[in-house]
Structure 1
Amino acid sequence: MLPSTSNYLLKNGRVPASLLEMKSIAPNAITVPTRQAENGFCAVDVEIAAGTIAQIIPTGTESLSQLRDIPVVDLHGGLVFPCFVDMHTHLDKGHIWERSPNPDGTFASAIEAVGADAQKNWNADDVYRRMQFGLKCSYAHGTKAIRTHIDSGGEQATVSLAVFAALQAEWRDRLILQAVSLVSLDYYLTPAGEKLADKIAQIGGILGGVAYMNPDLGKQLDRVFSLAKERGLNLDFHTDETDDPESVTLREVAKTAIRHEFVGQIICGHCCSLAVQPPELVTETIALVKKANIGIVSLPMCNLYLQDRQSGRTPRWRGVTLIHELKTAGILVTVASDNCRDPFYGFGDHDVLEVFNMSVRIAHLDRPWEDWPRTVTTTSADLMGLPNVGRIGVGLPADLILFKARNFSELLSRSQRDRTVLRQGREIDTTLPDYRELDDLLQEDSAVETASTQTKPADAG
């Protein structure tokens, strides 16, 4: 339990060096225990005053703050992280599993089940309550910023974007929320697509969509880039969420960005097929992505769940993109949670620590650890345009997560349900919402019947 005062010292903490703004502390004064050196932890004391980080002091050095009469909390070597950033989610789809499960776990069935559920159930109250539930989970786990893709075809855009705007206002003192429109790219060739771009501009959102291989892909991309440039919008695409090596939409997005000399931020999510393409195509694509300054977000949990799924057959691959190769090329790479308890991913709890934990296992983000913790904090914040989020430094808000774990092995071996979350230096209630809150939305009589098969991934996860 932390002191109730607004000024206190967190003593004997360990911060991953990659998450510490080094200008806040003299680098030559940082002490790192020998056995932790390979994992890059900085042993520090952190003074918090009026909700802000006032000082960061190398542990074991004398400072004025330690001479003042302020409470001291000994962390006993526990890890200190900045609050998390979850830059690719689908809050509007979340928590419908009980009424619309995925019958066989495939991508096609996920599209079918979500489409049917949306048609029958997605009124304003339903969407609001499920999104609110997801936000409660995220906040309790220590997330500060979330980007969510919102299914935006037809009248659903009016309903769901209005719900998003209401929640964004209600949570503005606790969470930074960003919205991305989600439609198949052919939608932008229609008058409705242009109206959607106007609506996204009005709410300060990001223009997005699902890129899939088709004869008109070039025309579709040219149109969405033009709409974004005319309105000063950033772009966020779903690309190549498949194990088909012939799917090269990531490459086509990069080519289009270069041709349009696009200066806004572009994010491409999934990019799974890059991992099964010939080396020469991979090299070409990565070079184009680098030139176009595209950021990549991998969604390891959802892709592990959906990719290479066939009944009665063990999957042969993990479904993730070439995270290491992209990062080595100097491309900003992040990981995020994606779907939660819906037909695209039947599990999850909006916990970014779980995302990082699973990503480490799936994509081998260890040995060495390097700066991989930035994939759920600093780098994600940078790609979302949030320069003061996802890092620890003097003058920044004291939005921190305190763990009893002292190293990565301890951090990623237990659930860390006993973490302490600070917002502006104050300990928050980390009690998770009860699933029973949604019971009346998920009764058996709300179960959706199977919808007709769609021919393109308009509702991709």
Structure 2
Amino acid sequence: MLPSTSDYLLKNARVPLSLLEHKSIAQSASSVTAAAGTQIDFCMVDLEIVAGAIAQIIPASQEDLFPIVDKPIVDLCNGLVLPCFVDMHTHLDKGHIWERSPNPDGTFASAINAVRADAQKHWNAEDVYRRMQFGLKCSYAHGTKAIRTHIDAAGEQGTVSLAVFAALQAEWRDRLILQAVSLVSLDYFLTPAGEKLADKIAEIGGILGGVAYMNSDLDKQLDRVFSLAQERGLNLDFHTDETDDPKSTTLREVAKTAIRHEFSGQIICGHCCSLAVQPPELVTETLTLVNEANIGIVSLPMCNLYLQDRQSGRTPRWRGVTLLHELKAAAIPVAVASDNCRDPFYGFGDHDVLEVLNMAARIAHLDRPWEDWPRTVTETPADLMGLPNLGRIKVGLPADLILFKARNFSELLSRSQRDRTVVRQGKEIDTTLPDYRELDDLLQEDSAVETASIQTKPADAG
């Protein structure tokens, strides 16, 4: 589709209004209004690419004011252009074990047990490396530029998996930005091993994280992990309230601890499901604290829809997602991400962030109006991950783009968009997905090499 050169003009592109960095250009560009109502969703522009970067963004209404561009022209015929995706909450080390260790009843408890057993039997360095590598291939082909993955980090398993992550981070550095978060139960940080883990995370430039549960020592656990992070200059990323229990208020406790410690680093809290079943006065109190603590929230709509409110023989009554609209209205940054992929916590998925946006729009009603909800998989997670030049379309930035034939959100989210064109630094990449057969030998029960060194159970969360 694109010329072999990295200098060309993309004509007749529709860019979501919220993703154009230069608001003056957005305001002057001719806009496409939704069929019903006056909501402006897109800007019509031409994008000049020079040496693999965005050199000009030319509003369609002002084409006559710019000199004629003497280079190849690609007419997008009003197709959508998005910046490459940012997937800020994944579990690459757990991925693609479903055929080997399926969830017997689809419940959260069974997912924990199945992953624990699989890790104890199979998770040597080669196994973890090849499954994580498979996930990265999928993400790259679909158009993702940056990924944050939680890594089960306790004991010897943590040593193995973090070493694998470091190797993949180096191998993929020219294609993907990878960040690692430690995943352990917070009581782990009350032990000497927890302090050593914090040192290791600082050594690899990672993010300190863990699973927060309601328990009598939660305040002590949170104080400890905040102190470890402050001492090492680390950001924090927690799993909070992945439950339908209204009494689960770990998000509120994280916020209170952040305020008490005057924590200046970035804090992310994922899931936050119980917020949706709590009384209004508690929700208001929690959102006020979260805002004051400058916490970003990431919702995982596909995994939570799969696990939450699952009981045998009974239709689920709720969707499991957090209060995205209320969080956004409270000026709290919200993102959505893919979470688990083809493991006991979520038996489906393909590391495609477009699918995440698609599902989030349907589950959480993000579409009327669209406003800036496309930022939840682009600009907002990029900012929360400390990557201010990702997830937006701006003059001077690399031409890391995804080109679609779809001309509006209805067309975009009604088909899989397997024919998308992914552009990295102005060049079209190969979007062929890896074949599942690449992992067949790993998924045979008698193929994995058991190692006595892998003894520690993974953290009890997806």
TM-score, reference length from structure 1: 0.96
* More off after superposition, 52-61 vs 187-196: 52-61
Q: After superposition, what is the alpha-carbon deviation per residue over 1:215-243, rounded to whole angstroms, capped at 9, x for unaligned?
A: 00000000000000000000000000000
Instruction: Kindly indicate whether residue 299 of structure 2 is the aligned counterpart of residue 278 of structure 1.
Output: no
What residue is the counterpart of 1:453 in the other structure?
none
3-state SS in 1 of match to 2:18 = helix
What residue is the counterpart of 2:380 in the other structure?
379
What residue is the counterpart of 2:104 in the other structure?
103
Q: After superposition, what is the alpha-carbon deviation per residue over 1:90-144, rounded to whole angstroms, capped at 9, x for unaligned?
A: 0000000000000000000000000110011000000000000000000000000
What residue is the counterpart of 2:334 in the other structure?
333
3-state SS in 2 of match to 1:177 = strand
Report the residue type matching 1:80 in the other structure: V
Q: Cα 1:65–1:421, aligned 2, differ >3 Å: closer, same or farther?
A: farther
What residue is the counterpart of 2:370 in the other structure?
369
What residue is the counterpart of 1:2 in the other structure?
2
Contact 1:210 1:457 in 2 (8 A): no
CA distance in 1, matches of 2:70, 2:373: 38
Q: What does residue range 39-438 of structure 1 map to in structure 2 within 5 Å? A: 39-62=40-63, 67-438=68-439
CA distance in 1, matches of 2:33, 2:261: 51
3-state SS in 2 of match to 1:148 = strand
CA distance in 1, matches of 2:263, 2:67: 51
Q: CA RMSD in A?
A: 1.5
Q: Cα 1:28–1:275, aligned 2, differ >3 Å: closer, same or farther?
A: closer
CA distance in 1, matches of 2:26, 2:40: 16
CA distance in 2, matches of 1:93, 1:333: 25
Query: What residue ranges of structure 2 are gaps of 5+ in the alignment?
Result: 450-456
CA distance in 2, matches of 1:185, 1:199: 16
Q: Cα 1:31–1:148, aligned 2, differ >3 Å: closer, same or farther?
A: same
CA distance in 1, matches of 2:448, 2:335: 35
CA distance in 2, matches of 1:38, 1:424: 32
Q: Give the CA deviation at 1:66.
A: 5.6
Report the residue type matching 1:243 in the other structure: D
Q: Give the CA deviation at 1:59.
A: 1.4
CA distance in 2, matches of 1:17, 1:66: 24
* More off after superposition, 95-104 vs 52-61: 52-61
Q: After superposition, what is the alpha-carbon deviation per residue over 1:288-310, rounded to whole angstroms, capped at 9, x for unaligned?
A: 00010000000000000000000
Q: Give the CA deviation at 1:145.
A: 0.2
TM-score, reference length from structure 2: 0.96
CA distance in 1, matches of 2:215, 2:203: 30
CA distance in 2, matches of 1:366, 1:34: 14
CA distance in 1, matches of 2:278, 2:448: 40
Q: After superposition, what is the alpha-carbon deviation per residue over 1:305-351, rounded to whole angstroms, capped at 9, x for unaligned?
A: 00000000000000000010000000000000000000000000000
Report the residue type matching 2:188 in the other structure: Y
Query: What residue ranges of structure 1 are gaps of 5+ in the alignment?
Result: 449-455
3-state SS in 2 of match to 1:119 = helix
Contact 2:26 2:43 in 1 (8 A): no
Q: Cα 1:66–1:100, aligned 2, differ >3 Å: closer, same or farther?
A: farther
CA distance in 1, matches of 2:172, 2:410: 34
Q: Cα 1:63–1:55, aligned 2, differ >3 Å: closer, same or farther?
A: farther
CA distance in 2, matches of 1:447, 1:170: 24
3-state SS in 2 of match to 1:155 = helix
Q: Give the CA deviation at 1:447.
A: 9.3
Contact 2:29 2:62 in 1 (8 A): no
3-state SS in 1 of match to 2:231 = helix
Report the residue type matching 1:439 in the other structure: D
Q: After superposition, what is the alpha-carbon deviation per residue over 1:58-103, rounded to whole angstroms, capped at 9, x for unaligned?
A: 1143357661320100000000000000000000000000000000
Q: After superposition, what is the alpha-carbon deviation per residue over 1:341-389, rounded to whole angstroms, capped at 9, x for unaligned?
A: 0000000000000000000000000100010000000000000000000
Q: Cα 1:66–1:128, aligned 2, differ >3 Å: closer, same or farther?
A: farther
CA distance in 1, matches of 2:133, 2:461: 21
3-state SS in 1 of match to 2:459 = coil
Q: After superposition, what is the alpha-carbon deviation per residue over 1:384-428, rounded to whole angstroms, capped at 9, x for unaligned?
A: 000000000000010000000000000000000000000000000
What residue is the counterpart of 1:21 in the other structure?
21
CA distance in 1, matches of 2:241, 2:32: 43
3-state SS in 2 of match to 1:224 = helix
Contact 1:132 1:167 in 2 (8 A): yes
3-state SS in 1 of match to 2:31 = coil
Contact 1:250 1:271 in 2 (8 A): yes
> How many residue pairs get matched?
453
CA distance in 1, matches of 2:303, 2:219: 28
What residue is the counterpart of 2:12 in the other structure?
12
Report the residue type matching 2:151 in the other structure: I
CA distance in 1, matches of 2:27, 2:390: 25
Contact 2:151 2:181 in 1 (8 A): yes
Q: Cα 1:176–1:350, aligned 2, differ >3 Å: closer, same or farther?
A: same
Q: Cα 1:69–1:153, aligned 2, differ >3 Å: closer, same or farther?
A: same
3-state SS in 2 of match to 1:192 = helix
